[in-house]
Structure 1
Amino acid sequence: MERLAFSTLPCEGWSMDEMIALAHTCGFSGIELREGAMWGITTEMTANERTSTLQKFEQADISITNIGSGVCFTGNAGDTEQFNSFVKIIQLANDLKAGGVRIFLGYFNNRRDSSVPAIPYPQLVAQIKKACDYAADYGVQVWIETHNEFATGRLLRKLLDDVDRPNCAVIYDIIHPLEEAELPSDTIALLGSQCVHVHIKDGIPFDDPMELSWKYTKVAEGEVPIASIIDQLEQAGYNGYYSLEWESTWRTELQVAGMEPTVIFPAYVEFMREIFHTRMK
């Protein structure tokens, strides 16, 4: 199994050498680089810094699966500033030979009893088209994550069809469609071949029914049917990475002893290898 990756999200303050060393030690073949100063990858990097970073990965034989940007389009006025950031990140992705840049859509609302602005759908579609056209000139794909108002395959399917750009694809974050009560079989069928990257995580619903999101757990300790999802993806012809997105940076339930990347990452690799070993029997 050579398609395991991790997001550098929980690796704040680490050097790139430390991230690559952990990947080697654990058995990862890809790394998903979170963009930002605290993760060592920024749009302010000089040409020499970009070249040096790429050489580190090539020498280590570790793929840069994508750049995990924080860019979020809503179809509203703030998209101008977001697009300016997006432009710089696309250039960074090109320099680092990353195939895709992750973006979000909509608003980060975790509660049913709080409201967010309406999304002007035609404007959002136009904004994504503009982003895809810019990225295409650099040979980079735009990867929309299943998140926020577009967490489900049923909503993303229409959006992808309306955007109609060959370099527009999806990161299937496996927990978010479940939070919206969409079955994995439906998500996978609806996304089809435009599902190019998968975020693995686990969790359970909060006791509070007003919570939109689930409470995160260690992988294999929650209610996300990870093995079944992987089996369905493989049967559907998925050939991308399975990337652990360990959100200890944001999630207080993961900010406890025993949840450090040095503990969680090797356990994840062992868990995933067992799933694939079982599938081969």
Structure 2
Amino acid sequence: MTGRNDRGGATVIPLGFSTLACPDYDVDQVIAMARDNGYAGVEIRFLRGTVDLPTLEELSPGRIGETRRRFEDAGIAVVGIDTSVRMTSLDPAVRAQRLDAARANLAIAEGLGAGFLRVFGGPIPAGQDRERTLDAIAAGLGQIADLTAAHEIATLIETHDEFSTSASVLDLYARGASGTLGILWDTLHTWRHGEDGAFTWDRLGHRIRHVHVKDSHRPTAAGFDFALTGEGTVPVGSFIELLRRVGYPGFVHFEWEKGWHPEIAPPEIALPHFARYMRGLGL
């Protein structure tokens, strides 16, 4: 599903959410939350309290077809699989382990019909040579991107951590990262580092395949907190307006970090709230 549908002359962008918002949910609960609140898709980060997706029986080779049918029967797309994979290490053994993790999650993405695998650039490890590390990240993520592209699944680096600005992401391509590597634009992180939406899109838009939005009361380059959508200071509406104007063809997903911050509002509040807010913007 893409945003190329048309409603009254305006681009319709399908909405979804990351299961980071509902870390303890099982598949049926994820489907029910999406269906009951008008979400078209989900990306899988957590299920039943774990991010180690290959360990889950419902995502095993013998069961994943059944799981896929449950999503499809409900009309909910599994848009992507979110991993913790990063290629910051210079140790060949560690890099091989992370490539194996990418392969295991690629199998899940294929099994569920997902279009992308999310990876991170990651922070530069303390005490490690910066230039060598950046070259290693570019090479390693490019290798993963080429691997998944051969299976018609995109690898997307999220604008996050050390790679929260357009310049930092573009530097990876300048260092030889494969052109098959796409971008997951987390709008909060580029914005809190001083980029407005038009600036980021102008530089990265041709590589952006997926978009995350979330709100914060006090977003700065040094950090951020959490706010229900529309109750913070992030100009969420301006990002949606931009994406509609440029004809962005993908999903916009809500990334509510309940899995990492148990003190924030539960999914039963945050996910319906986001859907209502987005409907107020005409989506």
Question: What residue is the counterpart of 2:119 in the other structure?
Answer: 103
Partner of residue 6 from structure 1, selected from 7, 17, 30: 17
Deviates more, 1:266-275 or 1:179-188: 179-188
Distance 1:160 1:235, change over 3 A: farther
Question: What residue is the counterpart of 1:112 in the other structure?
Answer: none
**What secondary structure does 1:171 align onto?**
strand
Q: How far off is 1:193 after superposition?
A: 2.2
Matched, 1:141 2:154: yes
Question: What residue is the counterpart of 1:156 in the other structure?
Answer: 169
* Cα distance in 2, alignment partners of residues 7 and 116 from structure 1: 33
Question: What residue is the counterpart of 1:236 in the other structure?
Answer: 246
Distance 1:40 1:52, change over 3 A: farther
Question: What residue is the counterpart of 2:75 in the other structure?
Answer: 61
Q: CA offsets per residue over residues 216-251 of structure 1, 9 Å max, x none?
A: 111111111111111112212212111011102223
8 Å CA contact retained: 1:103, 1:145: yes
* Cα distance in 1, alignment partners of residues 223 and 185 from structure 2: 16
Question: What residue is the counterpart of 1:21 in the other structure?
Answer: 32
8 Å CA contact retained: 2:145, 2:154: yes
* Cα distance in 2, alignment partners of residues 87 and 35 from structure 1: 18
**What secondary structure does 1:71 align onto?**
coil
8 Å CA contact retained: 1:91, 1:138: no
Question: What residue is the counterpart of 1:276 in the other structure?
Answer: 282
Structure showing greater relative contact order (alpha-carbon pairs closer than 8 Å, 6 or more residues apart):
2
Q: How many positions carry a matched residue from both structures?
A: 265
Matched, 1:264 2:278: no
The root-mean-square deviation of aligned C-alpha atoms, in Å, is: 2.3
Q: Which 5+ residue runs of structure 1 have no aligned equivalent?
A: 110-114
8 Å CA contact retained: 2:87, 2:98: yes
Question: What residue is the counterpart of 2:229 in the other structure?
Answer: 219
Q: CA offsets per residue over residues 93-141 of structure 1, 9 Å max, x none?
A: 11111110000112289xxxxx674442222211122111211222110
> Aligned residues: percent identity?
26
Matched, 1:74 2:88: yes
Q: How far off is 1:41 after superposition?
A: 7.3
Distance 1:117 1:221, change over 3 A: farther
Q: CA offsets per residue over residues 183-214 of structure 1, 9 Å max, x none?
A: 222111111121111111011336xx8x7211
* Cα distance in 2, alignment partners of residues 57 and 215 from structure 1: 32
Q: How far off is 1:31 after superposition?
A: 0.6
Q: Which 5+ residue runs of structure 2 have no aligned equivalent?
A: 1-11
One-letter identity of the residue aligned with 1:9? L
**What secondary structure does 2:120 align onto?**
strand
